[in-house]
Amino acid sequence: IFLIIWGSGRMLVTAVGVNSQSGIIFTLLGAGEGEEEKKEKKGRCKKLDVAKKQDGAVAMEMQPLKSAEGGEVEEREKKKSNVPKKEKSVLQGKLTKLAVQIGKAGLVMSAITVIILVLYFVIETFVVEGRIWLTECTPIYVQYFVKFFIIGVTVLVVAVPEGLPLAVTISLAYSVKKMMKDNNLVRHLDACETMGNATAICSDKTGTLTTNRMTVVQAYLNDQHFREIPDPSQINPITLEMIVNAISINCAYTSKIMPPDVEGGLPKQVGNKTECGLLGFLLNLKRDYVPVREQIPEEKLYKVYTFNSVRKSMSTVVQMPDGSFRLYSKGASEILLKKCSSILGANGETRSFKPRDRDEMVKKVIEPMACEGLRTICIGYRDLPCDPEPEWDNEAEIVTDLTCIAVVGIEDPVRPEVPEAIRKCQRAGITVRMVTGDNINTARAIAAKCGIIQPGDDFLCLEGKDFNRRIRNEKGEIEQERIDKIWPKLRVLARSSPTDKHTLVKGIIDSTVLEQRQVVAVTGDGTNDGPALKKADVGFAMGIAGTDVAKEASDIILTDDNFSSIVKAVMWGRNVYDSISKFLQFQLTVNVVAVIVAFTGACITQDSPLKAVQMLWVNLIMDTFASLALATEPPTEALLLRKPYGRNNPLISLTMMKNILGHGVYQLVIIFTLLFAGEKIFNIDNGRYAPLHSPPSEHYTIIFNTFVLMQLFNEINARKIHGERNVFDGIFGNPIFCSIVLGTFGVQIVIVQFGGKPFSCAPLNVEQWLWCLFVGVGELLWGQVIATVPTSHLKCLKEAGHGPGLDEMTEDELAEDEDEIDHAERELRRGQILWFRGLNRIQTQMRVVKAFRSSLYDGIEKPASRNSIHNFMAHPEFLINDFIHNIPLIDDTDIDDESEWSSLPTTPNRNNNAIESGVYHLNLPTGPDGHWTTPSRQLYPLLALETSL
C-alpha cells in the first residue's frame, strides 16, 4: 500500500467472482452452495409472503401438492438431485449388509429354538405324560417357559454380531493413532480404511515428489561442462569473482540461505527458490554472498530491471568506483544467450560468441541439461560507460551485447525415498500419476527419475491444453467416453490448471471402463490443488508447505510433506481391512458353533449345553476382547505384495469361509462327543436331562471349558486369513493380543474353579483341565490340516459380504439431511392443501369471468355461443400469470345459466396490475348469518363454506 501511494497506476479487472481463477477454485470446492440455497430459500419466502398478503388461498395454491398426480414424485426426485449423495465407506457398506444378513439368520434360529423348546415341553408334559395344568404348578411351568425364553435370547445375542461396529471403531481409532507416528494426520476417520482400497494416486510434483529446494547440479564455466559442482580451484579466479558478484547482487536481497532449524538438517531457503538455488551454488563454491551485499547494499543499486515473464530475465545495474556502470543479468538460457556477443573463455579472457557458437552450446550443453529435467539459467554482464550516460528506460538497448559468464542447470531434486515408495505402490497394484503445473519436459524427466514412467511402457504424457482438446467435444463439453480413452495410459499431466486436475480426478472416479471402480487418492499442497483434493476419495495435503485451503479440503495431512508417508497410509488402510476380516473369521466360527450347539442341545436334551451366563461370557470374549486383540495387529510389508481388494470384493473370501467351516466342524465334533459321551470318557455323572435348579455338573462344565479354550486357540489361528501356515508370525509384536489371550485364559480359570452356581460351573481337577487344554491346542494342529486343503477344490463354498449395489442405497442414506415430517402431519397438510386448492380454483375462475364480463367487454354484445369459459381462451386478452399455474377451467356443464352470473354484483378491479396478475375482488350479498343469499350458494357450497369460515 505504501508503495502505491508514491506512484500512480492503472488496474484492469479481467474477471471477478466465479469467473476469476480463485472463484473457479472455490466453486469446485463447493463454496457458495450454502449461500445460494439460502438466497433461493429467502427468495421463495419473500414470494410466499407477498402471495399471502394478496390472497391466502392463492398462497396455498402455490405450495406443491404431494398428490398421486406426480407432484410428490417430482419433488422427491428434485430433492434427491439437490442433496449430495453421502456414500458409506466401502468397508461400512459391506459390514452393514453382512450384519443384517447374520442378524436375520440369528433371529430365525432364536425363534425356532424357543418354539421347539416350548412345543417339546408342552407335548412331553401334557400329551405324553398326560398331566393337567394345575394352578399350584403354574410357577413351575412359568419358570420353564422363562428358561426357554432366556435360551432363545441367548442364542440371539450370540448370533447377532454386535461386536462389528466396535471392531471397526477400535481398528480405525488404533490405526489413526499409529498413523500419526508415521506422519499421517487423519482428519476423516473413514479415509484410513478407504486408502486401503486405493487403486490410483494423482500426485503433485513440487514439494511432494521433489524436495522443493532448487539446487544447482551442473554448470558450464570457462568452456568446460561440469556435471557436478566444481571445486573452486577448477575455476579461473576472474570468472569465480565475476560469478560471485553477478549472483550476489543480481538476486532479490530478500532471497537468502538461513541455518537449519534442526541440527544436521538442510539449510532453509527463504525467498525465491531459483535465486536461493543460485545462492546455494556460491556456498558450494566456498564463497559467501553476504559480504558482497554488505559492500553494495540495496540502496546503492543504480537500476533494477525486475523479472518479467515475457523477457524471462532480471538485470541489475551498479556503479563502479571509476564512475562507469556494470550490468548483471540472469535469465532463461535460450533467451539470454541470444543477447550475448562474447563469453569468458578458459583463462577468464573474453572471446567472441557468434551464432554458430551459440548453436553448438545449445546442442552440447543446454539440450542435455534439459533432457535431464534441469532448468538452465544463463548469467552474464555488460560494462557501460558513464559518459554519455545510457538511456536507462530503453531496456532493450541496455540488456544486449552481453558477456556470458556461465550457464547453470538447476533442478528440484527428487526425494531420495520417493522412487522406492513408488515402486512399492506399483507392486501393490496402485498406479501413480504426476499432475503438475510445470512444463512437460521437466515433468517427464522427474517422472522418469521417480519411476512413474519407464522405458518400454505404453504411457501418455500430456499438457493441459492437449488434455482438454482430447476430452471435449465440438461444443466444448467434457465427455466421459473421451476421458476413458485417455486416463488408463496417462502418467504425466503437465501445465495443468486446477480445473484440469479436478476434471482428471472426477473422470477416473466416474469411469466404468474397468470392472472395479477406481478409488483415487490425490496429493497436493497449493490452493489450486483444493478442488482435486476435495473430489478425491482420499485427499492428502502437505502439512508443512500446504496452504489452509488444501488442508481443509483434504482427508489426511502429511506432516512431513513426503510421498513415502502415503505408502504407510496404504499399509494401515489395508491393515484395517484385514483386521476386520480376521475378527469376522473368528467371530463367525464362534457364532456357527454356539448357535448349532444351543439349538441342537435344546432340541434333543430340552436344555442348552451352554448356559445363558456362559454364552454371554463367550460373547464377551469374541466381541470385545477379540475385536481389541485382532484389530490392533500392526501392518507388515506383506500387505503391499497383493492387489487392492476393490469395492466389490467380498469381505469373507473363500479361504476365510474354508477356515470358518473347517474349525466349526472340529469344534462341533468335540462338543457333541463330550455332550453325549463325556460322562463315560471322564467317568463322571451325566449332566443331561438335569431337573430345574439342579446344581452345576462337571459334565457340562467340561463342555463349557473346552469350548472356551478352543476359541482362545482359534483366536491365534484367526491372525492369518490368506492361508498362511505360520500363525505365530509376529505375534510378540502385538503385546495387546498376547495380554488379552493370557488374561482371558486367567479369567476362565477363575470362572471354572470359583464361578459356582452363577456361572453354572463345578470345579475341575488337573486331569480334566489337561484334557480340555489338549483339545484346545488341537485347534492349532487342525488349522494346519485346513491350510493343506487347497481352496480351489472347494467349489461348493461361496463368498460373503459383498458391497451394497447402487440400487440398494436407501432413500434416507441418499438424503440424510432431509427434514422428516410425521405421516399424520403430512396427511393433514395434504388435506388442507386439497381443500384450499379446490376453493381457490372455483373462486379464481369466478373472478376472472366476472372481471372480463364487467370490464373488458363493457359495451360489447356478448355472443350467445360464449356461455363457456373455454371460449375466452381464443382471445389474447385472456392472460393468466404464472402466479396461478395449471388451473383446470370449469366445464361447460358446470354453468349453463347466465342469469346466475348476472345476478352476482361485482366490483371489478380495473387496475392493470390486477388484470396482469389475475387477482380480482368479488363482492357477494350475504344474509344475517353471513351466508350468500344468491342461488350460487346452492351451486357452490364449497365457496359458501369458505365465506362462512
Specify whether 623 is catalytic. Answer: no
Cell numbers standing for residue 845: 375462475
**Under 8 Å between Cβ of 701 and 761:** yes
Cell numbers standing for residue 424: 512399492
- R_g of the chain, CA atoms, integer Å: 42
| CA 739/CA 349 separation, integer angstroms | 78
Q: Which residues contact 510 (CB under 8 A, 6 or more apart)?
A: 480
Q: What is the DSSP secondary structure assignment for residue 919, as one 8-state letter?
A: -
| CA 85/CA 93 separation, integer angstroms | 14
**Under 8 Å between Cβ of 92 and 819:** no
Of 55, 204, 412, 537, the catalytic one is 204
Q: Which residues contact 483 (CB under 8 A, 6 or more apart)?
A: 471, 503, 504, 507, 508, 511
856, amino acid identity? L
**Under 8 Å between Cβ of 403 and 382:** yes
| CA 919/CA 908 separation, integer angstroms | 10
Q: Which residue has the cell 529435467?
A: 373
Main-chain phi, psi angles of 134, to 5 degrees: -95, 145
| CA 176/CA 189 separation, integer angstroms | 7
Could you tell me which residues are beta bridge partners of residue 521? 201, 538
Closest C-alpha among 201, 416, 242 to residue 328: 242
Q: Which residues contact 291 (CB under 8 A, 6 or more apart)?
A: none
- The length of the chain is 949
Q: What is the DSSP secondary structure assignment for residue 891, as one 8-state letter?
A: P
Could you tell me which residues are beta bridge partners of residue 203? 434
Stated as kind and residue range, the H or E segment containing 31 is none
Q: What is the DSSP secondary structure assignment for residue 679, as one 8-state letter?
A: H
669, amino acid identity? V
Could you tell me which residues are beta bridge partners of residue 404? 343, 380
Stated as kind and residue range, the H or E segment containing 112 is helix 90-122
Residue 879 vs residues 47, 625, 856, 864, 910: alpha-carbon distances, Å = 20, 76, 12, 22, 14
**Under 8 Å between Cβ of 412 and 277:** no
- Kindly give the pairing relationship between strand 340-344 and strand 350-352: antiparallel
User: What's the gap between Cα 935 and its chain centre?
Assistant: 68
**Under 8 Å between Cβ of 235 and 221:** yes
Cell numbers standing for residue 82: 439437490
Q: Which residues contact 269 (CB under 8 A, 6 or more apart)?
A: 213, 214, 257, 258, 276, 277, 280
Q: Burial-class residue 524 by CB neighbours within 10 Å (0-12, 13-18, 19+).
A: buried
Residue 473: how many CA atoms within 13 Å on its side-chain side? Answer: 6
Inter-axis angle of helices 564-605 and 612-620, nearest 10 = 170
Given 3-state DSSP classes, what are the helix, strand and coil percentages for the chain, each rounded to the nearest 5? 55, 10, 35
| CA 465/CA 508 separation, integer angstroms | 18
Could you tell me which residues are beta bridge partners of residue 800? 652
Q: Which residues contact 9 (CB under 8 A, 6 or more apart)?
A: none
| CA 621/CA 921 separation, integer angstroms | 78
Residue 142: how many CA atoms within 13 Å on its side-chain side? Answer: 6
Active site residues: 204
